[in-house]
Amino acid sequence: MNTSAFRLTLGLVPSAGAFALMLAMPVVPDTLQFKAALAASAGASSESHSDAGHGGAQSGSHSSASASGAGASAAGGGSASARDEPANDFVKGVAESTVGTHTGGTGGTDAATGEDTTDASTADGETTAQISSEGPHPGVIGALSARADLETAGAGAAADGSADASAARLTDASTTGADLTGNSVGDGEAHGRAAALAESSTFPEETATRSFSRARSATSLSTLGGGTIAGGASAATTSTGGDGEASASTAASDDVSANSVGDGSASASVDIITDAAGSVDTAARTADANTAADGTAEAVNDGVGTASSAHGAGSAAAEASIDDETANSFKSVNLSISVSTP
């Protein structure tokens, strides 16, 4: 019986040659195999928000993506929109805001070192549009802005985004708009801002009237590496007033646009201001009319393939009369500038 047990034990013991062979063979634990399976990783996220009310609309979106290692890929995207239609005794109009962002990445392996390569991308966008009235006289201020920021790192990384905002007053011709569209691939960045303001007011009095209009627009863009972006903004407004034998009217409008690519930047801005006033002096029996129209425009670019332009126009007219005396005044401004690099 002891002999049988001894034989069984011998049967489970490897020979010296077999034991040496076992030592020579590489051992691959299960834990190492598990880690290899997790070498490729990816993740993405997105967050969006929007608000509307009190004559305004706002929206924003953020997206990010990251991928590391061969076979890994990730994509994220989001969008948001808002709309408000204020209506009261002073203002009636529409304010709209939309934004969208998308990101993606594809991981890989470095051919020389065998190490994992990582792609990462982020995209952010935000827009705001606002319509409001001020004071006891009919007037409006329509203001809006748009922003986009895109960043990518890695050969397979990509991001794109767009932001649009508009505001229009339905009781007169005051409008504003701004938009941005961009993308980035590989190692790159694209950043942009655009803003517009339209303001108009009338000030009627017993023997006088005044009209005021202003339009301002601006955009600023910059890019690095594989980034490209284009954008623009515009504003337009008119105002008329009349009281007895006095009348006044003003108008102002402008638009800017720019694009940037690679290692470059571009910006443009316009500011148009017009003012008109007419009045009569019932005691002295005289009439008076005054107008002003002025503005500035600027366009700047830096880098191959970049360009920007700025245009603006404004006019102001006033008239007043009493008895046989009549006063008239008219002024205008017209600006245009553009720059580009092939």
**pLDDT, tens digit, 9 for 90 and up, residues 186-200:** 999 999 999 999 988
- Which parts of the chain sit beneath pLDDT 70? 1-39, 89-90, 133-140
Per-residue pLDDT, 133 = 65
Q: Are 85 and 93 in contact (CB under 8 A)?
A: yes
Q: Are 53 and 86 in contact (CB under 8 A)?
A: no
Q: Are 130 and 138 in contact (CB under 8 A)?
A: no
Per-residue pLDDT, 22 = 35
Per-residue pLDDT, 147 = 96
* Burial zone of 150 (CB within 10 Å; 0-12 exposed, 13-18 middle, 19+ buried): buried
**pLDDT, tens digit, 9 for 90 and up, residues 228-265:** 999 999 999 988 887 778 999 999 999 999 999 999 99
In whole angstroms, give the CA distance from residue 161 to residue 221: 14
Per-residue pLDDT, 134 = 57
